[in-house]
Amino acid sequence: MFELPPRAGHRPETTPCAPHEQISQNPNQGTHLAFKKRAFDFPFVERRHSIISVPGAEALWLPHPHACGCKESFMVGNEFAHVHPAYDGSLHMMLPIECTRELFEKQWGEPHPMAASGMIPETAVMVFAPRDTPEIETVLKILATSYDFACGKLENPEKLSV
CB count in 10 Å sphere of residue 108: 23
Judge whether 38 lies within some domain: no
Predicted model pTM: 0.94
Q: Among 66, 97, 62, 65, which Cα is nearest to 80's?
A: 62
pLDDT along the chain (162 residues), means of 10: 92 95 98 98 98 97 96 96 98 96 97 91 97 98 98 74 44
Judge whether 156 lies within some domain: no
The confidence score (pLDDT) of residue 160 equals 46
Judge whether 146 lies within some domain: yes
Amino acid identity for residue 12 in this structure? P
Judge whether 32 lies within some domain: no
Integer Cα distance of 25 and 113 in angstroms: 19
Integer Cα distance of 35 and 37 in angstroms: 5
The boundaries of the domain holding residue 54 are 43-150
Strand blocks (E) in 36-161? 46-49, 58-61, 79-83, 91-94, 109-111, 124-127
Judge whether 14 lies within some domain: no
